Amino acid sequence: MNLDTPHTIAIPQVIENGLSSKIIYKGPFTLKSNGRLIELEGTISYLTNPRPEVCFVGKVLNGSLNSLFSAEYLELTTPTDIKGSFNLTSINPSYSRIGSSTEIKGELQYELKMSKQSQYSEINFSLVNFINNYGLAYSFNNRILAGRVELQYKNYLVVIDKVPDSKKIYENLKEQNGFAITHIGQIKRLDGKEFELEEIERFLEKIVWILSFVAGRRVDINHLYTDLEGYNAICYRIPSISSWKNIVNWYPRNSRDSLEKVLYCLLELMEDDYWEKQLPRILSYYFDGFGSSYIDNKIIIIQAGLETLAWAYLVETKEVLSKNKYNALGSAASKMERLLKELKIDFRGDDIPGIQEMKLNSKSGPQFLSTIRNDIVHPERKKTKLNDEQLYFTWRMGIVYFELALLAIGGYEGEYCNMLLNFDYLAKRVQKVPWSESNTTTEKLV
């Protein structure tokens, strides 16, 4: 083993003992509801199946239950200063000869704070359902593995490792379409100084949104903790994700450095307050474009995302067009064409399946996409219908336009997987982005 190969930060013992299903707390705690306190005795548990959640079960010791029925949420606090907001799930009274008792259950809304510590030299985090990425080398048990991401950005060093037993985890995810911790990340200051959690909260949120763009669906953080080997919990979080799904998109899975490049570029983009706020909203179109069950809905959604990108870039970012001039472009197709033209993305559509059947005057990909979208929303009785293959290509074309547009806006200069190319082997679809200075070809997308 190469002595220079770093050891993994994704330590299996910590994942098994600290990040798996367990009772977090057992003993007395209080619930605050509409200003009134209820005392209970019970447990707070973290569960991984069927999905990550934190819940409590408690027997009422003292307090009126009347306030529970109108409460939007319950503030839970323990004597050890564990705190979190919970939704009430059930109230179960029971009666016996000895007397009566009431059991209350609840589920965590978002975050359960476990620590009063304010300064940290490092913060580690778990990622749920990220992709099976390639990457830099790291070691575990005298084995060399590939799957590390290292990013230096501003004052921080971010390291993300795929878990060592990833093969088994991804096999289970494919079989069960569930949830699993696939990666462990760590963030430190480059100067070694301590920092507060609030200092890096927004930074971590940005990273998670970019990783979601890489995955083609939402991924999220489940735990924050310190003490890499001993595990000292900072908080539990309920990840805002859906179950596992393998998405084939722009990201070249066998690349060693594309992940670092896109992280850096889009983090730079999100330094702009406008993009920090708007990018998550824009990406929601992208995720929904993959998530809908019906191809018709996917086409409608992804065009909406492209139009939003066009406005955000042409009007709000580069100010190429004023609001009035943007609106004067008229059709959605014209707006998408202008966006792609500004970003040096080819949108000719000579070889688009179905373009001859539709008898369009223009051989433009955006016009074809917009025409199909309009026909879906406003179906005509005698209109020529596309077959499933042609509809699939239309949707995929919209996805590729969206991916390339966002990568170009962020200034990404690496490789991407062109899903418009008809190759069975994904690696053959990998190309340099069209606007890259090192890309000397003039090939069309299709």
229-285: per-residue pLDDT in tens? 888 999 999 998 988 999 999 999 888 899 999 999 999 999 999 999 999 999 999
How far is 387 from 353, CA to CA, in rounded Å? Answer: 10
For the residues of 282-340, what is the DSSP string, one character each?
A: HHHHHHHHHH-SSHHHHHHHHHHHHHHHHHIIIIIIS-SS-HHHHHHT-SHHHHHHHHH
Q: Where are the domains of the chain?
A: 14-113, 117-237, 258-432
Please report, for residues 256, 337, 388, the alpha-carbon distance to residue 367 in angstroms, rounded to integers and kept in the order given.
36, 8, 19
Q: What is the mean pLDDT of residues 154-164?
A: 96
68-126: per-residue pLDDT in tens? 877 888 999 999 999 999 999 999 988 777 778 899 999 999 999 998 888 999 999 99
**Structure-token match 């998530």, residue found:** 291
pLDDT reported for residue 396: 92
Q: Which fold has domain 14-113?
A: Thrombin, subunit H (2.40.10)
Give 419-427 contacts, CB < 8 A, sequence gap 24+. Answer: 419/248, 419/249, 419/250, 420/393, 420/396, 420/445, 420/446, 421/446, 426/248, 426/253, 427/254
How far is 62 from 409, CA to CA, in rounded Å? Answer: 58
> Is the pLDDT confidence value at 433 over 70?
yes
Q: What is the mean pLDDT of the chain?
A: 90
pLDDT reported for residue 354: 54
The separation between CA 43 and the C-alpha centre of its own chain, rounded to angstroms, equals 31
